Amino acid sequence: MRTIYFDYNATTPLDPQVRAAMLPFLDEVWGNPSSVHHVGRRARALLDDARDRSAAVLGCKGSEIVFTSGGTESSNLAIFGTARLLREKGRHLITSSVEHHAVLQCFDYLERKEGFSVTRLPVDATGRVCVDDLRRALRPDTTLVSVIAANNETGTLQPVAELGALCRERGVLFHTDAVQWFGKEPFTNIHQFNADLVSICAHKFHGPKGAGALFIRSPLHPDPVQFGGAHENERRAGTENLPAIIGFTDALERFVRVPVFERTHLAPLTARLLAAVDGIEGARFRGSREHRLANTISFTVAGTDSIALMAVLDLEGVCASSGSACAAGSLEPSHVMLAMGAPAAEANALVRLSLGRASTAAEVDTLCALLPRVLRQVRRA
Ligand SMILES: Cc1ncc(COP(=O)(O)O)c(C=O)c1O
């Protein structure tokens, strides 16, 4: 059966060169970086080297990087760690209504269980937050704002640098979940987000799963969320996963400064998909035509649901998604679609097509040709 993999926002295949860089760390370099003997010291030296290399790409100090198990952990550490650190200063937090669950559920928990109050900023029909809404929402007791850089379901880009600048002016910490952003948008320096905390994840840009980082702007030192050791400068206890850290570092060096998701390759492909979607009755593009990742096109289909849509596309060999991977297989309406004003009946009928470096014009042609028929079929059913 043919496979058309249009789900690069869920994950990307491990790059062969990144894999090769990792292999010695699954084999001969197996020491614990915390051990004082020479086997451990060798691992420590290579861990320190990976931190320096990552810092060189990000344009920050090595001490400003905490290696984590990926995007979810990075955002959990950023949010719980800073909200709790500053709880005596204030208990008001701000996020947006279109965050990934890895962010959303941290705020829900802090509100439900720890007495914080949370403002969730609305978005417009394209999924964008308005800077003035943030300005109005900031209070004297606000300690943290967290807004996603690029939305995983729609690819909509937020004005993070402006949001971050406003927070800085008001003395409020700013975190951005940039998991979908790295490797897709032009990157010069971690400071371009004007953020104090930035979540990054390797498997979205051809690195290994279970590998990521949290940038923490010096001298901020969030409360740890896991305990049991002084690793990562007392910010993340647990023996370091050196193969994953090497894979993260190698992928960061290869695929971020010059994004591996090349706009010149992907924008024409998604433009054709968008034109096809625009021409299908009952299908409606959801997202921003102007401010979006070049690889992502999302649309809803009236009169059906995501499970039926994914199933029928899969039968044709097309791997798409109904939004966030963790919502796959569930009929929960997408909170992102609801926040963007989609009718409830369409909020669980989302198709996300996310292309990547191996995507071809022929694959796009195939999908454009079969989409009208498949959507008719699933709507009739
Ligand atoms: C925007 C966003 N944040 C966080 C995550 C979670 O990252 P990880 O799978 O590394 O935990 C994802 C993954 O889908 C994501 O798209």
Please identify, by atom number, the ligand 1 atom nearest to the C-alpha of residue 70. Answer: 10
- The answer for residues whose C-beta is within 8 angstroms of residue 110's C-beta and 6 or more apart is 79, 80, 83, 93, 116, 118
Q: Are residues 211 and 294 in the same domain?
A: no
CA of 36 to the centre of ligand 1 (A): 35
Global pTM value: 0.97
The protein residue with its alpha carbon nearest to ligand 1, atom 14, reads 10
**Residue 345 binned pLDDT confidence (cut-offs 50, 70, 90):** confident
Pick from 204, 293, 295, 354 the residue to mutate for probing ligand 1's pocket: most ligand atoms within 8 Å of its CB: 204
User: What CATH number is attached to the domain comprising 341?
Assistant: 3.90.1150.10
Alpha-carbon torsion angle 194, 196, 202, 205, nearest 10: -10
Q: Are residues 268 and 219 in the same domain?
A: no
Q: Are residues 110 and 242 in the same domain?
A: yes
Residue ranges lining ligand 1, Cβ < 6 Å:
70-72, 100, 102, 148, 152, 177, 179-180, 201, 212, 324-325
Q: Which of 202, 226, 255 is the last residue of a domain?
A: 255
Residue 178 contacts residue 197 (beta carbons within 8 Å) = no
User: What integer pLDDT is reported at residue 326 of this predicted model?
Assistant: 47
Among 181, 189, 184, residue whose Cα is nearest residue 74: 181
Just list the catalytic residues: 326
pLDDT tens string 201-251: 999 999 999 999 999 999 999 999 999 999 999 999 999 999 999 999 999
Q: Are residues 245 and 303 in the same domain?
A: no
pLDDT tens string 157-189: 999 999 999 999 999 999 999 999 999 999 999
b vs e for 101-131, b when ≥16 Cβ sit within 10 Å of the residue's Cβ? ebbbebbeebeeeeebebbbbebeebbbbee
Of 20-24, 86-90, 326-330, which gets the smallest average pLDDT?
326-330
User: What integer pLDDT is reported at residue 242 of this predicted model?
Assistant: 98
Our count of domains for the chain comes to 2
Please identify, by atom number, the ligand 1 atom nearest to the C-alpha of residue 326. Answer: 14
Sheet with 117-121: list strands edge to edge.
65-68, 212-216, 197-201, 173-177, 142-146, 92-96, 117-121
DSSP string, 125-164: TTS---HHHHHHH--TTEEEEE--SB-TTT-BBP-HHHHH
User: What integer pLDDT is reported at residue 195 of this predicted model?
Assistant: 98
CA of 295 to the centre of ligand 1 (A): 16
CA-CA distance, 93 to 141, in Å (whole number)?
8
CA-CA distance, 241 to 106, in Å (whole number)?
24
CA of 202 to the centre of ligand 1 (A): 10
CA of 256 to the centre of ligand 1 (A): 17
38-58 vs 242-255: helix crossing angle, rounded to 10: 30
pLDDT beyond 70 at 330: no
Q: Are residues 270 and 217 in the same domain?
A: no
CA-CA distance, 75 to 176, in Å (whole number)?
8
Please identify, by atom number, the ligand 1 atom nearest to the C-alpha of residue 210. Answer: 10
Compute the average pLDDT of residues 116-141.
Answer: 98
Alpha-carbon torsion angle 273, 276, 277, 283, nearest 10: -150
Structural domain for 24, as ranges = 16-255
pLDDT top residue among 324 and 54:
54
Q: Are residues 101 and 225 in the same domain?
A: yes
The protein residue with its alpha carbon nearest to ligand 1, atom 5, reads 71
Please identify, by atom number, the ligand 1 atom nearest to the C-alpha of residue 69. Answer: 10
Pick from 180, 198, 241, 261 the residue to mutate for probing ligand 1's pocket: most ligand atoms within 8 Å of its CB: 180
CA of 42 to the centre of ligand 1 (A): 32
| Portion of the chain with pLDDT greater than 70, in percent | 98
User: What integer pLDDT is reported at residue 1 of this predicted model?
Assistant: 78
**Residue 380 binned pLDDT confidence (cut-offs 50, 70, 90):** confident
CA-CA distance, 94 to 83, in Å (whole number)?
11
Q: Are residues 194 and 329 in the same domain?
A: no
